[in-house]
Amino acid sequence: MGRILKAIGYGALAIVGLFVVLLLFSSLMIASDLTKQGLIDKYVNEKSFFYFLPSGAEVHIRDQGNKDKPPVFLLHGSNASLHTWEPLVAQLKDDYRLISFDLPGHGLTGATSQEDYSNIAMANFTREVIELYDFNSVTLVGNSMGGGVALRYALMYPREVNALVLVSSGGIERDEGDSSVGAFALVSSDIALRLMRYFTPRFLVAHTLEGVVADPDNFVTDEMVTRYWELLRMAGSRDASIKRFSEANLEPSLEPLLRAVDPATLLIWGSQDRLIDPKYGIAMNTLIIGSLLKLYPQAGHLAHEEMPEQTAADIRAFLNRALYTE
């Protein structure tokens, strides 16, 4: 009997020990929300400002470059922020007025009271930002999700856009067999979205960034990972991401509308893009009449960050023709 009680005691201790280990592991994995003010203190610079739009949302904007040159608006991708454009801004600052901003549910703009993070809502949000200025027409540059928003905007307001630059753009429905589609279905599942609200480990953010670029060892830095991780955790932003991912399958494909895209269009794609395969860039090039496609063999999903000099050179050459040639 004593041996049995001792065994039970050891078993109970083992269970308690396992519970403690799991509790400690969970505490390390749980990532709490961060305050907006704390993130503002860390991630704004002298070019940053905030403005309340007519819809009531407060947008984070950077207005940089040459204010006497044509305006170019920069639209970032999913779970990114305006910071993604800084390498490109450094290359183009003498040639254009470069206006970047955090889209709803992202960066220091964060969640909005409307809680609408659809493609159309983001296009209308973009129009509110553009209407802060007195421009007759603008150039839109978009990466990934931001490319899809730029396309939607050009279709909704064709007379307001004189040129489009789309970097590994969304907008075409991807094949179910694509690995990225399977991965997206997994992270968009109910259980994954529920976990995302509380469990947002830094190593997962690092792994995601490393998986979308061509040369992660020479591109992904601790500073970059920390910025993505912290901005994702701004109060309300994870809820916004959960809502956006959970409703992503409701977004209509832009593919049937692409032949109606009117502005001159440059497509830039990394040949090593594992998130949105280059075949979709080729398809988009076929559908958008008169568009130009540039494939970068040494880039992945973030060509504008991975190869900012080449991206800037191609944008400059393209806009010189699109904006200055009759």
pLDDT at position 195 is 66
Q: Is the pLDDT of residue 14 over 90?
A: no
Q: Is the pLDDT of residue 288 over 90?
A: yes
Paired strand residues for 63: 99
User: What pLDDT band is residue 78 in, cutting at 50, 70 and 90?
Assistant: very high
**Is 115:240 a contact under the CB 8 Å cutoff?**
yes
Paired strand residues for 293: 267
* Six token digits for residue 294: 């540039």
Report CA Rg, the chain: 22
For the stretch 55-65, pLDDT in tens is 999 999 999 99
Q: Mean pLDDT, the chain, as a whole number?
A: 88
pLDDT at position 104 is 98
CA distance 209 to 35: 24
Paired strand residues for 164: 140, 265
pLDDT at position 183 is 46
* 115-119 average pLDDT score: 94
Percent of the chain with pLDDT over 70: 83
Strand, coil or helix: what is 199?
strand
**Is 74:64 a contact under the CB 8 Å cutoff?**
no
CA distance 49 to 60: 6
Please tell me the least confidently modeled range out of 60-74, 160-174, 178-192: 178-192
* Six token digits for residue 147: 């490319």
pLDDT at position 185 is 47
* Six token digits for residue 161: 């856009």
For the stretch 177-219, pLDDT in tens is 665 544 444 455 566 566 666 778 899 899 999 999 999 999 9
CATH no. of 36-324: 3.40.50.1820
pTM higher than the cut 0.85: yes
* Cα atoms in the Cβ-side hemisphere of radius 13 Å centred on 265: 29
Q: Is the pLDDT of residue 31 over 90?
A: no
For the stretch 231-260, pLDDT in tens is 999 999 999 998 898 887 778 889 999 999
DSSP per-residue letters across 194-261: HHHTTB--HHHHHHHHHHHSS-HHHH--HHHHHHHHHHHTBTTHHHHHHHHHHTGGGSPPSGGGGGG-
* Six token digits for residue 163: 């040129």
* 293-312 average pLDDT score: 98
Q: Is the pLDDT of residue 27 over 80?
A: no
CA distance 185 to 170: 16
CA distance 128 to 131: 5
pLDDT at position 320 is 96
Q: Is the pLDDT of residue 326 over 60?
A: no
- Between helix 237-246 and helix 222-232 the angle, nearest 10°, is 80
Strand, coil or helix: what is 140?
strand
159 exposed, middle or buried (CB, 10 Å; 0-12, 13-18, 19+)?
A: exposed
